[in-house]
A and B are shown apart, each in its own frame.
Chain A
Amino acid sequence: MGHTAFGRRTDASVQELACEAFAEALRDAGIPRDAVEGSVIAAVPEYHKQRSIAGAVSEYLGLAPKPTWLVEAACASGGAAIRTAWMAIRAGSHDVLAVIGCQKMTELTTAETLALMGRVGEVQWESCFGATFPAYYALFARRHMHEYGTRPDDLIAVAVKNHHYGAMNPLAMFQKEITPEKAAASDPVASPFHVYDCCANADGAVCLLLAEEERAREISNHPVWLSGMGAASSSMSVLRRPSLSALPSTGEAARQAYEMAGVAPQDIQVADVHDCFTIAEILAYEDLGFCPKGMGGRFVSEGESYVGGTTPVNVDGGLKAKGHPIGATGVSMTYEIAKQLRGEAGARQVPEATVGLTHNVGGIGQYCFVQVLTRE
């Protein structure tokens, strides 16, 4: 596995970021480049100047003529790419594949970013009214507050926790603690959200080497297994959803992953969930079954998602503090949980963790990928 620092990486191109992660992954696994049979690239094309980024990355890493292809599922591109590589290995087509999530979002101008921000939702009936990405999750937040009594303080508690752990992660974009007062006083974005309710665009790359079971045992004495894999979708238009206080794709993907791994939500010892906005982490606690529906706000405010609580969540800082280089995010989640299961997470290590979970959401729940990871 390899993981670059996330943040404003004006020092490197997207290929160079990918190479940084890829070279580290080869060193970490102790295998030569020739052992990698192909690459699956996770990225969202519209955020790069370079079109068809998979080809550019594969060439730069010296992987040609081995196959490469791009997987896109908005912010869940990473989870989708891992699933695609896992399927190819399960099908017997490959034994070792590199999954590389990479994104260089800061090469776009603010104007270009603002134009993209206005088209994240359904464009025919929603984007035409100026519905931004934060606005969508704000609609969920307001509804959740109405139905379950979730408080603005609960939203802030997510941001405070994730910045607390971001301060312990040397690869995070923001390595500083924040106070609830500072979060509450930040500029409004889309009510009830302020700046500190939202994650930040970033640059970065992450590489995982996935291998067929027998091959994995040859390569490593301590492989981490993808034991449960779930994937689901929800309607693009939020107007076609049954409710705006849950993400149905999370519930369905989690059900599949738990069933395949033979575990229950209570068995998860550490999780990385998709906290693109503070409410999204609260929805995730509930939709993944870490707490009953409606209790997500209380769960975080009472410290249940800190190390030492019921289910430590996003103890790498989450999207919130680590930064959100869209294509790299889902791959970063799996990297972090694998680090935890290997016992290599340093100051933020969850003691004796052997079962972990990742939850990668695209858009406003249009795509969702859940993994249960285990260590023997």
Chain B
Amino acid sequence: MFKWFGVVNLSPSTRVAEFAQLLREGHLMASRCSACGDRSFPPRADCARCLSADFEFLELKGHGTLYTFTEVSVAPAGFETYAPYTLGVVDLEEGGRAMAWIGESLAAEDLEIGMSLQLVPRLRDDVEEIQVFYTLETPGYARDRAGATVTSLLAVWPREPATEGERIR
């Protein structure tokens, strides 16, 4: 159900579609190649190193540091009502990078390259369709606010990430 993923989904078909299902349940997943063990975030079905088509999901805690960011004022189609929004790129401690919106726990003037952040699974609760994505927040924000609807738009998923490296499914 990858059509659930993103603010506006453009690519519903993928072999890593279960990522969105797991994100909906509060799990942030990387992929790990079953043949050579190479890890990837964002996840990919076919190993970048050895091209094996076998992979498994591996849960991440999502801790990382801000690599770069930009506040988007001129939005593309489908995003007009959200502008301005801030895009961040985070370097994940567990490997890989993610692009995500900076969430409500961080003020624009406090953003600084190198600061500690956490990539947090989010479930949208103002629309009828299922819609999931992740935002960049102050570390621990999800734990502290678990279950609360913190804006009119987004609920924090009421669970903590699994122990690092714990296998899900």
Contact = CB atoms under 8 A, between A and B. Distances in A.
Given A123-B10, A142-B68, A239 B75 contact: no
Contacts of A143: 67-68, 113
A142 B113 contact: yes
B156 interface: no
A244 B68 CA distance: 8
A213 B39 CA distance: 50
Interface in B25-83: 42, 67-79, 82-83
A142 B82 CA distance: 22
Interface stretch (B94-102, B147-155, B160-168): B94-102
A139 B97 CA distance: 14
A178 interface: no
A238 B89 contact: yes
Contacts of A125: 42, 98-99
A89 to B, nearest CB: 36
A193 B70 CA distance: 9
B7 interface: yes
Interface in B76-114: 76-79, 82-85, 87, 89, 96-101, 113-114
Nearest to A138: B70
A117 B68 contact: no
Contact of A190 (B70, B77, B78, B82): B70
Among all A-B residue pairs, the 8 with the closest Cβ atoms: A128-B6, A118-B76, A138-B70, A130-B79, A115-B77, A143-B68, A239-B97, A125-B42
A139 B87 contact: yes
Contact of A142 (B69, B83, B85): B69
Contacts of A188: 71, 73, 84
A38 interface: no
Given A129-B100, A129-B101, A239-B96, A115 B76 contact: yes
A218 B64 CA distance: 63
A307 interface: no
A127 B10 contact: yes
B8 interface: yes
Interface of B is mostly: loop
B6 A139 contact: no
B31 to A, nearest CB: 12
Given A142-B70, A239-B42, A117 B7 contact: no
Interface of B: 5-11, 14, 42, 67-79, 82-85, 87, 89, 96-101, 113-114, 133
A119 B10 contact: yes
Interface in A126-153: 126-132, 134-135, 138-143, 146
Contacts of B99: 125-126, 129, 131, 238-239
A345 interface: no
B9 A128 contact: yes
A138 B99 CA distance: 14
A135 B113 contact: no
9 contacts: A118-B8, A118-B79, A128-B133, A129-B87, A130-B78, A134-B72, A139-B69, A146-B113, A146-B114
A69 to B, nearest CB: 29
Given A143-B68, A191-B70, A130 B133 contact: no
A347 to B, nearest CB: 34
A138 B85 CA distance: 14
Contacts of A126: 99
Given A129-B100, A130-B83, A143-B68, 6 more contacts: A114-B77, A117-B76, A119-B76, A128-B5, A128-B11, A142-B113
A189 B70 CA distance: 10
Contact of B73 (A118, A187, A237): A187
Among A114, A129, A135, A146, max chain B CB count under 10 A is at: A129
Contacts of B97: 239-240
Contacts of A115: 76-78
Contacts of B11: 123-124, 128
A132 B76 contact: yes
Contacts of B96: 239
B76 A239 contact: no
Contacts of A244: 67-68, 89
Nearest to B112: A146
Nearest to A188: B73
A111 interface: yes
Interface string A174-218: 000000000000011111110000000000000000000000000
Given A119-B10, A239-B98, A132 B72 contact: yes
A139 B67 CA distance: 9
Contacts of B69: 139, 142
Nearest to A121: B99
Contacts of B8: 118, 127-128, 130
